[in-house]
């Protein structure tokens, strides 16, 4: 069975039901906003998933997709895993999980907002072990996207925990103007030549940005893949330009 299409034409629940009814064995890959989630099926049953921190978190992340493409490919040798019962149970709760996504998206409309520890008000607040794990990651103001990336937990669970910490006045949200400008309408290109190849690049984020440059990805795409703000991306671009490592090509309008 060959199956591919767009999520604007069929919802995930209907699509998974189709695979179940046809007893499909293989994998279906969903792509939305640079994120890939793959679900593995054996005789129509979802047995595993990947794309987030673990199979369950991957299914939960899939529930947030309301656009994107999908492709099912037949593949033999797919077997059940210890997580299979939980994967199946999570799929049964897909509508409930979507409601949780609606909640966190309303709470955090943008993943580029900055999160910081709130000033102590000397109030006695009880927090869970998982909330402690998230608090321990906030050592300086950092983007919500970066926190999700650093979290040992899945994206949905991390955002729910952050919402709880915010309601308990333990973290604060820093709103900044971080919209695209005309300056950002470019495609970074790696410069050739001895000087460009041998000039050093310092800083983990600058190195990561440089590695992502392939002559096709524009500034906005690289920034989104890294989970940094446009402001931070501009600073990296200016630094790489000053080192002679890159050139910029204007995008066609």
Which contiguous run of DSSP H or E holds residue 242?
helix 230-242
The tokens for 50 are: 């990947």
Q: Delimit the domains of the chain by residue range.
A: 3-103, 108-174, 182-250
Phi, psi of 84 (to 5 degrees): -55, -50
DSSP secondary structure letters along 132-177: HHHHTT-SS-EEHHHHHHH-SS-HHHHHHHHHHHHHTTSEEEE---
- Mind listing the pLDDT tens digit for each residue in 44-76? 999 999 988 899 999 999 999 888 888 998 888
What pLDDT score does 1 carry? 54
Distance CA 240, CA 249 (A): 14
Whole-model pTM: value is: 0.69
Mean pLDDT taken over the chain: 88
108-174 and 182-250 in the same fold: yes
What pLDDT score does 87 carry? 94
Structural fold of domain 182-250: Arc Repressor Mutant, subunit A (1.10.10)
CATH number for region 108-174:
1.10.10.10
- Mind listing the pLDDT tens digit for each residue in 131-158? 999 999 998 888 888 888 889 999 999 9
């Amino acid at each position: 069975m060959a199956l591919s299409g767009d999520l604007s034409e069929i919802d995930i629940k209907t699509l998974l039901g189709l695979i179940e009814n046809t007893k499909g064995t293989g994998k279906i890959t969903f792509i939305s906003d640079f994120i890939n989630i793959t679900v593995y099926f054996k005789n129509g049953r979802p047995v595993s998933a990947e794309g987030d921190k673990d199979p369950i978190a991957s299914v939960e992340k899939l529930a947030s997709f309301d656009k994107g493409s999908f492709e099912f490919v037949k593949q033999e040798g797919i077997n059940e895993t210890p997580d299979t019962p939980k994967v199946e149970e999570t799929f049964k709760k897909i509508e409930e999980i979507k409601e949780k996504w609606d909640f966190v998206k309303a709470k955090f409309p943008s993943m580029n907002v900055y999160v910081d520890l709130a000033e102590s008000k000397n109030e006695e607040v009880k927090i869970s072990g998982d909330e402690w794990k998230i608090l321990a990651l906030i050592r300086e103001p950092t983007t919500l996207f970066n926190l999700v990336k650093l979290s040992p937990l899945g994206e949905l669970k991390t955002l729910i925990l952050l919402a709880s910490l915010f309601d308990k006045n333990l973290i604060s949200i820093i709103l900044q103007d971080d919209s695209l400008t005309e300056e950002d309408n470019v495609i970074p290109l790696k410069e050739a030549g001895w000087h460009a190849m041998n000039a050093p690049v310092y800083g983990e984020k600058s190195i990561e940005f440089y590695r992502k440059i392939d002559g096709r990805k524009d500034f906005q795409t690289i920034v989104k893949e890294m989970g940094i703000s446009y402001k931070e991306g501009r600073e990296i671009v200016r630094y790489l330009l000053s080192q002679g490592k890159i050139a910029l090509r204007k995008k066609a309008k």
